Amino acid sequence: MLRASTWIAGLAILLAAPAAVSAEQNRQPEPTRQAQPASRTQQEHAQPARPAASSHPYGSWNNSWGATPPAPPSHWTRKSDWYRHVRACQQRYRSYNARTDTYRTNSGRSNRCAL
């Protein structure tokens, strides 16, 4: 009896398969939607964050970059370019320390960031 029920189930699958294939072939493709132009507010939000122009003596800093760095060390003479320098060094060196303007090498030495 087990063989008969297995044979009947197999036959049912074989008979149903062509019907599913023909239904798939007869299906009409869905119309494609044309992309709508983005509204002005969507375009404004899609732009990357840029630091706002400010009159800060060390340049401009975007808070999404992290905490505002401390004042530049005494060896740093271009005070108005400090924040740009700190951001560049943070992106280049994971171990960068803005307080001392140094980063650690793989061998453990401390080097001053020259970016």
In a domain, 77, yes or no: yes
DSSP string across 25-64:
HHPPPPPPPPPPPPPHHHHHHHSPP-PPP---TT----GG
Taken in order 40, 42, 45, 50, is the CA torsion positive or negative?
negative
**According to the model, what pLDDT value does residue 108 have?**
92
Number of domains comprising the chain: 1
Cα–Cα distance measured from residue 84 to residue 65, given in angstroms and rounded to the nearest whole number: 11
Structural domain span for residue 79: 54-112
In degrees and rounded to multiples of 5, residue 36 shows phi and psi of: -80, 140
Residues 6+ away with beta carbon under 8 Å from 79 = 57, 58, 72
With respect to residue 8, please indicate whether it lies within any of the assigned structural domains: no
In a domain, 49, yes or no: no
83: in domain: yes
Tens of pLDDT, residue by residue over 39-91, are 665 555 555 555 555 567 788 888 888 888 888 888 888 888 888 999 999 99
Asked whether residue 40 is assigned to any structural domain, the reply reads no
